[in-house]
Amino acid sequence: MEFLETVAKFKSEDDVVDVHLITVEDEFKGDAQKDFLQQMQMSVQTAGIRFSWEFDKTGSAHARHIITDNGWKILLDRGLDIFQHYDMNEAFSINNRMQEFRACKAFEVTSLQVKD
């Protein structure tokens, strides 16, 4: 959801952005996961984001990356799970409001320019 919030923050107001997520279904909480994804989809529509998703059923999905429509592939070695644990229920913690104040886990990002 925070990735979608960032997209909403930086996109032009008049633009419509398509974001498609390919993920695996949680084997224990699949129904809740689907519900959360549907809630995200409905929520970001008003911000001009068309969010869709699908579950990879091949069992081979592991690499985490973002592919843009302007020729870039961004490889994320640990996905978007880069933040150290913090208490999301703490109403007066700046960590909950602003990512730049959260402690991060070690991670690498590689960007590649891809050709059509």
List pLDDT tens digits, range 61-77.
Answer: 778 899 998 999 999 98
Residues of the chain with CATH 3.30.870.30: 1-61
pLDDT digits (tens, 9 = 90+) for 89-102: 888 989 888 888 98
The answer to whether residues 12 and 48 touch, using CB atoms and an 8 Å cutoff, is no
Which positions of the chain have pLDDT values less than 50? Answer: none
CATH number for the domain formed by residue range(s) 1-61: 3.30.870.30
pTM: 0.81
What pLDDT shows up at residue 31?
Answer: 95
